[in-house]
Amino acid sequence: MFVLGLTGSIGMGKSTTAQLFAELGVPVYDADATVHRLYESEAVAAIEQAFPGTAGAKGVDREKLSGHVVGNAEAMKRLEAIVHPMLRAHEKEFLAHAEQAGAPVAVLDIPLLFETGGENRVDAVLVVSAPEEVQRQRILSRPTMTEAKLEMILARQMRDSDKRARADFVVDTSNGLDSAREQIRHVLAKVATMPRRRS
């Protein structure tokens, strides 16, 4: 089975691209959705212990947790040490299921793929991209987004140009769904003939 890493900066259309893969029958692992589930289940006790007052009856309060870790590298490291091993276990389970089901390709949708060394766990990397003005317009139209918040998020992410330079494939989402779909079909045709390179 070929494992394709899917990544891209905020506002580039990564979630939509992941959906398009799923529509074509490709199994997609969503790292963000898995984090949400962990914050409601197995990660709650460990996070509450590390950051007292951040968890309640419904699990981890993301706003309260943000107050502890945003802008604090040491706290962020502590959080990642709790969450990353759990994420990895879920990812492995997902890949095992996809392989058992006979999927020729599986997609790992991981926002911080390059930032966390995730490119070593995949056979190729697809970066979702769009022009900067399109990206900013998309993000700033979100209800709770501010310029300051956006700058903070972008500071944690590798620059789009650097991601594109390291990618095997780039899907440009600025020309609508049909264009993105066509690009994805092209990627799937290409990976069918590519060698595996996971380490």
Summarize the annotated binding site for ATP as residue ranges: 11-16
C-alpha to C-alpha distance for 130 and 80, rounded to whole angstroms: 29
Contact 107, 21 (CB under 8 A): yes
Largest CA distance in the chain: 51
- Which residue type occupies 62? R
Name the binding residues.
11-16
User: Taken in order 96, 98, 101, 104, is the CA torsion positive or negative?
Assistant: negative
C-alpha to C-alpha distance for 172 and 127, rounded to whole angstroms: 9
CA 39-41-43 angle, to 5 degrees, is 60
Q: 95-121: b or e for each residue (b if 16 or more CB lie within 10 Å)?
A: beebeeeebebbbbbbbebbeeebbeb
